[in-house]
Amino acid sequence: MGLDDALIFTRVVECHSFTLAAQGLGMQKSTVSRRIALLEERLGVRLINRTTRKLRLTEVGQAYYERCRQIMLDFAEAEQAVMQLQQEPSGLLRITAPIEFGQLFLGRVLGDFMRLYPQINAEVELTSRHVDPVEEGIDIAILVGQPQDSTLIARKLFETRRRLYASPDYLALHGTPQATAELLGHRAIVLPNDSPRYWPLLGESIACQRALACNNITFAREAALAGAGIAGLPVMITALAVAEGRLIELLPEACLPEGELYAVYPSRRFQAMKVKTFLDFLMTSLPLSDGRLLEPAAASLLISPP
């Protein structure tokens, strides 16, 4: 109520008229007059001396008007600042993302984005932990799999194909399966969403021998390169190793569940310009083919030399 009364009082003073102030505020003159009277009663002072022909501020009223006017100017400036934020991306952009996606793609894309929009600052956490964007004040959380929280907005970014891989040394020692049934008993490198008992094949239940379980796809790839077993890995981190002959793709006809990455954020309504612009920029910058993510040249930086 105090801010509303201050606005009404300021308009009356600047219009030099209850009638004109009421018209500008879309209120009845009687309402404006009553609100000023209540304001004076609450403050315990007279702010305006009224005659039939003019209004004159008291000394206290003049001091009060100057403070109220500054408040109104500050309020207008704050609104203008918010609107400017919506006109061009600026401010702090807080992002979380899976480790490999951040290393392979996000760093380059975000760097290009910040070069185009120098008013953007960014904080990025690469993590495999569960992230709550609302609780942690995150602008964009890039997550594996669609979130279950229906209060969040989830935008699908891409799918990642998975294939089975093993090193030449492993295959020389254990044999190369020529059909999915021949996977029976082979040593498996298991990722979090995989069954510890069966190979991650759609529509088939073929038992595996769990040799290693881990929660990181780069770790799993390195273990496969070292001959620890067969791993179901995303193509985006294996293409270079396959081209160099350090990993062998097995059973190309085998169907593995595809991974999906989503950009998750709290609300689409009044979405900050920095969030909307970056998500659009991200989608146009990723190397996609038919909605699937391809391996970038930068992947070679993450593969240790033999």
pLDDT at 300: 38
Query: Could you give the 3-state DSSP secondary structure of residue 270?
Result: coil
- Quick: pLDDT tens for 118-131: 999 999 999 988 88
Give the separation between CA 98 and CA 229, rounded to whole angstroms. 24
Longest dimension (CA), the chain: 106
Residue range(s) in the chain whose domain bears CATH number 1.10.10.10:
2-84
What does each C-alpha distance from 242 to 71, 97, 185 come to in angstroms? 66, 26, 24
- Comparing CA positions, the residue from 261, 236, 258, 299 lying closest to residue 140 is 261
Which among 146, 101, 127, 140 is positioned nearest to 294, based on CA atoms?
101
d(CA 1, CA 41): 14
pLDDT value of residue 306: 33
What pLDDT score was predicted for residue 172?
A: 97
**pLDDT for residue 301 is more than 70:** no
Confidence at 151, pLDDT banded by 50, 70, 90: confident
Using CB atoms within 10 Å of the CB of residue 278, give its burial: 0 to 12 exposed, 13 to 18 middle, 19+ buried: buried
- Provide the residue count of the chain: 306
Task: Please classify residue 198 by burial: count the beta carbons closer than 10 Å to its beta carbon, then call 0-12 exposed, 13-18 middle and 19+ buried.
Answer: middle
Q: Please state which CATH number belongs to domain 91-154+269-302.
A: 3.40.190.10
Predicted TM-score (pTM) of the model is 0.63
Residue 51 confidence class, pLDDT cut points 50, 70, 90: confident
Per-residue pLDDT of 157-190, as tens digits, reads 888 889 999 999 999 999 999 999 999 989 999 9
Confidence at residue 149, expressed as pLDDT on a 0 to 100 scale: 74
Cα 103 vs. chain centroid, distance in angstroms? 16
β partners of residue 93 = 122
- Top-confidence residue, 220 or 54: 220
DSSP 88: S
Every domain range in the chain assigned CATH 3.40.190.10: 91-154+269-302, 162-250
Per-residue pLDDT, averaged over 13-28, amounts to 88
The CATH class of 162-250 is alpha beta
pLDDT(113) > 60: yes
Q: What is the CATH number assigned to the segment(s) 2-84? A: 1.10.10.10
What mean pLDDT, rounded, does the chain reach?
86
For range 55-71, the mean pLDDT: 88
- Is 70 exceeded by the pLDDT of residue 294? no
In this predicted model, what pLDDT tens digit does every residue of 97-110 receive, in sequence order? 999 889 888 999 99
pLDDT for 223 beyond 60: yes
How confident is the model at residue 302, as a pLDDT? 36
Q: What is the pLDDT of residue 1?
A: 45
User: Is the pLDDT confidence value at 260 over 80?
Assistant: yes
Per-residue pLDDT, averaged over 148-156, amounts to: 81
Contacts of 134 (CB under 8 A, 6+ apart): 151, 152, 266
**How far does Cα 154 stand from its chain's mean position?**
9
Close Cβ partners of 28 (under 8 Å, ≥ 6 residues apart): 22
pLDDT above 80: residue 87: no
Give the range with max mean pLDDT: 19-28, 209-218, 264-273, 296-305: 209-218
